[in-house]
């Protein structure tokens, strides 16, 4: 009976061994893969050291870079003589310099300010990279990942900082991904989440802009003249004016010093690059307090009556408030731009009395 039990135990143990062997073998494979991955790390760091020496020998101590990419057998960089100098693209492959024909290396943010988008080679240290490798491999499922190539450079939106990006080949998930780190702090950065968030923000901004554009397109600045003048005085100051040209979509202010500002339907003032250069206006300007800016609606009705125009013409009125050359009294001219030139118009004095019409 005891013999039968012993035989049964042996058979059972054999069965268990057969069941466990695949798992044990898999564990051995993972251990081998993890060791090989760590050897790759060492080869990558060793090649970076060779590249560092080669760069210093070729470009001098602590070269200035805008991009650096390296693996266990090749390294490339964009090297600058100074922060504003153009980049020189170099490739160091299998321990020697090779030509760059047919190859290119572009910075993440090519239009970024050189003062912030350049970095010294000394900022990329073995200690920093080793610690990122160690932290990555501390997770059992990532111990066998292949971490190469590595890229360093200035990443614009959404990070606006120097980062180190590591390409990750997972032997457990059988897929490619990347890991990114703040080069200053070592903090992990979620590139995909940040890009998705930036995309969401751009979409929200685009919707807001579209809504503002739709609202702006409906504005008639002639009707809003008093508010526009008040905003001008608040934002642009008390300078005397030679003319104010008021259209549905734009208001132009010409100051006595010949500076020209435009106001658009978005509520923004912009200064023209060129000053007013015609002699048509009086450079003494006028006192805009003598103008009844709120009375333009009445002047439009008077002008329509004087020219026998229709109601459909009302929204096409343009108003020019000017003090012309010779420093004659200030006039208010109402024009109707929906007709072919010469546009029908009526001219009023500053008090709103009709002077002439055509």
Locate the domains of the chain by residue range.
28-197, 225-357
Helix (H) or strand (E) run with residue 175 in it: strand 175-182
Average pLDDT score over the chain: 89
Whose structure tokens read 């057998």? 73
Q: What percent of the chain has pLDDT over 70?
A: 92
CA distance 59 to 79: 8
pLDDT tens, residue by residue, 264-280: 999 999 999 999 998 89
Q: Which pLDDT score, from 0 to 100, does residue 25 have?
A: 55
Instruction: Tell me the per-residue pLDDT of 251-309, one tens digit each, with 9 for 90 and over.
Output: 999 999 999 999 999 999 999 999 999 889 999 999 988 999 999 999 999 999 999 99
DSSP 218: T
- pLDDT at residue 11 greater than cutoff 80: no
User: Which tens digit of pLDDT belongs to each residue from 108-155?
Assistant: 999 999 999 999 999 999 999 999 999 999 998 889 999 999 999 999
Could you tell me the maximum CA-CA distance found in the chain, to the nearest angstrom?
133
Residues near 264 by beta carbon (within 8 Å), at least 6 away in sequence = 216, 249, 250, 270
């Amino acid at each position: 009976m005891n013999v039968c039990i012993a035989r049964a135990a042996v058979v059972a143990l054999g069965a268990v061994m057969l069941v466990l062997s695949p798992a044990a073998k898999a564990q051995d494979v993972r251990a081998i893969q993890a060791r090989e991955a760590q050897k790759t790390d060492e080869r990558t760091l060793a090649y970076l050291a060779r590249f560092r020496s080669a760069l210093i020998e070729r470009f001098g101590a602590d070269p200035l870079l805008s991009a650096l990419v390296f693996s266990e057998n090749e390294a490339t960089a964009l090297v600058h003589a100074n922060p504003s100098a153009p980049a020189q693209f170099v490739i160091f492959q299998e321990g020697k310099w090779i030509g760059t024909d047919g190859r290119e290396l572009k910075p993440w943010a090519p239009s970024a300010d050189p003062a912030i988008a350049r970095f010294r080679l000394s900022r990329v240290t073995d200690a920093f990279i080793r610690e990122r490798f160690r932290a990555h491999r501390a997770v059992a499922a990532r111990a066998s990942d292949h971490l190469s190539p590595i890229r360093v450079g200035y990443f614009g939106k959404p990070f606006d900082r120097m980062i180190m990006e590591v390409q990750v080949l997972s032997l457990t998930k059988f897929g490619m991904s990347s890991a990114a780190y703040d080069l200053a702090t070592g903090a992990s950065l979620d590139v995909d989440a940040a890009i998705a968030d930036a995309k969401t923000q751009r979409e929200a901004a685009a919707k807001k802009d579209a809504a503002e554009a739709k609202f702006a397109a409906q504005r008639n600045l002639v009707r809003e003249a008093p508010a526009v003048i008040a905003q001008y005085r608040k934002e642009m100051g008390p300078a005397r004016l030679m003319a104010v040209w008021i259209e549905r979509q734009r208001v132009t202010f010409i100051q006595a010093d010949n500076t020209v500002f435009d106001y658009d339907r978005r509520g923004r003032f912009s200064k023209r690059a060129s000053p007013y250069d015609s002699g048509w206006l009086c450079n003494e300007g006028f006192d805009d307090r003598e103008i009844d800016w709120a009375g333009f609606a009445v002047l439009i009705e008077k002008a329509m009556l004087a020219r026998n125009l229709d109601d459909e013409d009302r929204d096409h009125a343009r108003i020019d408030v000017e003090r012309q050359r010779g420093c004659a009294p200030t006039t208010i001219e109402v024009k109707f731009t929906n007709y072919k030139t010469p546009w029908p118009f009526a001219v009023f004095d500053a008090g709103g009395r009709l002077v002439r019409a055509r």
